[in-house]
C-alpha cells in the first residue's frame, strides 16, 4: 500500500473513532432519537437524487434500514444519552464482529474455525472486563443498550451479506432513507414533540456542526474513501485498519471530553481488539455447497462460469466494523472463496480473503 493510501486508511479510522465524541457532543443539542433521524435525513439528502436505486430487492433495503438504522443507531444513541461514555461505546460496539459470526453460522451456515472461536471467547472476555469497569462507575443499563446495538449491527451485516449489493455507497444512501420516518415517529412518541421542537429552536452552530460531521464526514467521506481503498487493495489489507477505530475513539474522548481511561478499561480494550482481530482476520472454514451440476458435466459447466471478482467497495458503527457512532457500514458483493467479516464502526463489514479461504 502506498504511503498516501496508508494515510487515507488511518484517516478514515480516525474519522470514525472521533465520530463517537462528536455524537456525545451532539446529544447535548438533540434528543437521541431525533438526532439519529436527522443524521440519516442529512446523509440521504440530496445524495439520493443523484444516485440510482441499488440493484437489489426493496425488501433488503427496508430490512437493513430498519435493523441498522432504527434498531442499531437508535439503541446506540439512547445508550450514550443514558450515560454510556463515548470512548467505551467505540470499544464495546466492536463486539458486533462476534454477533455477526454467530448469526452468520445460524442463518448462512458459515462455520467458524477454532481460531475464530478463540477470538470470540477473547472478545467476550473483554466485554466482561469492560462491564465490570463500567459497573463500578456508570450505568450497566446504558452498557447493555450499546451491546444490544452491536447485536443489531451483526444482524444487519448478515442481511447485507444476503442482499449482496453491487454498489455499496449507492446502497447505503438508499438505506439511509428508510430509518428517517420510523425514528421521527419514535422520537415524537417517546421524547415528545415539545422536546424536539425546543431542540430545533435552540439549534446553534455547534449542533449544526455535529450533525454535518456524523452525516457527511463520517458517512459520505468515510464510506466513500473506504470503498475507494477496497477498490485498489485486497480487503485483507484494508480491513485491519478499522481496528484503530476504538483507539481513536477512546483517545479523542479523553482529550476533548475529559473521559477517564482506567487501567481496567485499557485491559478490556486489549482483549476486545485482540479478540475482534482473531474473529475478523482468521481464515474461515469452507462451507460445503452441493453442486447442481452432474459430475460428468462439471468441467464444461465450470468453463462457462465467470470467475469471482474482487469487490469494488465494502458496509458498520463494519462499518465496517461502520465505527459507529460509529456509521452505518457499506456492504459489498461476496465473491466465492471469501469469508464475511465485519469491522467498523461505524459500521463497516468487510469481506476477507481466505488464505485458502479468508
pLDDT tens column, 91-130: 899 888 889 889 988 988 888 888 888 988 988 898 888 8
The per-residue pLDDT for 268 is 86
3-state secondary structure of 342: strand
Distance CA 57, CA 38 (A): 25
Residue 174 dihedral angles phi and psi, to the nearest 5°: -70, -35
297 inside domain: no
32 inside domain: yes
The secondary structure of residue 90, as a DSSP letter, is H
Summary mean pLDDT of the chain: 80
Count CA atoms closer than 13 A to 157's CA, side-chain side.
42
50 inside domain: yes
66 inside domain: yes
53 inside domain: yes
Lowest mean pLDDT among 113-117, 118-122, 280-284, 343-347: 343-347
Mean pLDDT across the stretch 270-277?
Answer: 85
Other beta carbons within 10 Å of 200: 13
Q: CB under 8 Å to 344, separation ≥6 — which residues? A: 16, 93, 94, 96, 242, 245, 316, 317, 318, 319, 320, 321, 322, 323, 324, 326, 327, 329
Which contiguous run of DSSP H or E holds residue 126?
helix 114-137
337 inside domain: yes
Q: Domain containing 173: what range?
A: 3-284+312-353
Q: pTM for this one?
A: 0.76
The per-residue pLDDT for 129 is 86
Instruction: Dig out the grid coordinates for 42 from the structure.
Output: 442529512
Segment 142-194, tens digit of pLDDT: 999 999 999 999 999 899 888 988 888 888 889 999 999 999 999 999 999 99
**Domains contained in the chain, number:** 1
289 inside domain: no
358 inside domain: no
Confidence at 284, pLDDT banded by 50, 70, 90: low
Amino acid at each position: 500500500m502506498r504511503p498516501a493510501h496508508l494515510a487515507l486508511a488511518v484517516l478514515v479510522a480516525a474519522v470514525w473513532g472521533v465520530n463517537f465524541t462528536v455524537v456525545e457532543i451532539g446529544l447535548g443539542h438533540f434528543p437521541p432519537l431525533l438526532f439519529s433521524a436527522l443524521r440519516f435525513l442529512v446523509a440521504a439528502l440530496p445524495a439520493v437524487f443523484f444516485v440510482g436505486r441499488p440493484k437489489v430487492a426493496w425488501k433488503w433495503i427496508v430490512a437493513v434500514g430498519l435493523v441498522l438504522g432504527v434498531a442499531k443507531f437508535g439503541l446506540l444513541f439512547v445508550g450514550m444519552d443514558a450515560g454510556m461514555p463515548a470512548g467505551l461505546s467505540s470499544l464495546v460496539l466492536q463486539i458486533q464482529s462476534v454477533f455477526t459470526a454467530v448469526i452468520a453460522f445460524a442463518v448462512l451456515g458459515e462455520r467458524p474455525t477454532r481460531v475464530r472461536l478463540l477470538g470470540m471467547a477473547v472478545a467476550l472476555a473483554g466485554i466482561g472486563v469492560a462491564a465490570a469497569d463500567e459497573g463500578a462507575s456508570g450505568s450497566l443499563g446504558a452498557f447493555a443498550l450499546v451491546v444490544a446495538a452491536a447485536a443489531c449491527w451483526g444482524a444487519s451485516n448478515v442481511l447485507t451479506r444476503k442482499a449482496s449489493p453491487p454498489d455499496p455507497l449507492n446502497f447505503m444512501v438508499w438505506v439511509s432513507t428508510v430509518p428517517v420516518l420510523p425514528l421521527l415517529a419514535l422520537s415524537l412518541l417517546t421524547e415528545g414533540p415539545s422536546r424536539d421542537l425546543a431542540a430545533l429552536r435552540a439549534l446553534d452552530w455547534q449542533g449544526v456542526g455535529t450533525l454535518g460531521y456524523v452525516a457527511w464526514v463520517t458517512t459520505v467521506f468515510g464510506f466513500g474513501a473506504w470503498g475507494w481503498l477496497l477498490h485498489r487493495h485486497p480487503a485483507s489489507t484494508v480491513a485491519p485498519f478499522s481496528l484503530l477505530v476504538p483507539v481513536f475513539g477512546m483517545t479523542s474522548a479523553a482529550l476533548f471530553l475529559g473521559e477517564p481511561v482506567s487501567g481496567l478499561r485499557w485491559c478490556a480494550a486489549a482483549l476486545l481488539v485482540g479478540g475482534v482481530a482473531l474473529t475478523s482476520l482468521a481464515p474461515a472454514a469452507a462451507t460445503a455447497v452441493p453442486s447442481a451440476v452432474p459430475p460428468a458435466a462439471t468441467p464444461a459447466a465450470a468453463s462457462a462460469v465467470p470467475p469471482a471478482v474482487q469487490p469494488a467497495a465494502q458496509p458498520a458503527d463494519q462499518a465496517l466494523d461502520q465505527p459507529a457512532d460509529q456509521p452505518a457500514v457499506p456492504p459489498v458483493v461476496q465473491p466465492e472463496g471469501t469469508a464475511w467479516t465485519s469491522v467498523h464502526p461505524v459500521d463497516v463489514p468487510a469481506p476477507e480473503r481466505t488464505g485458502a479461504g479468508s
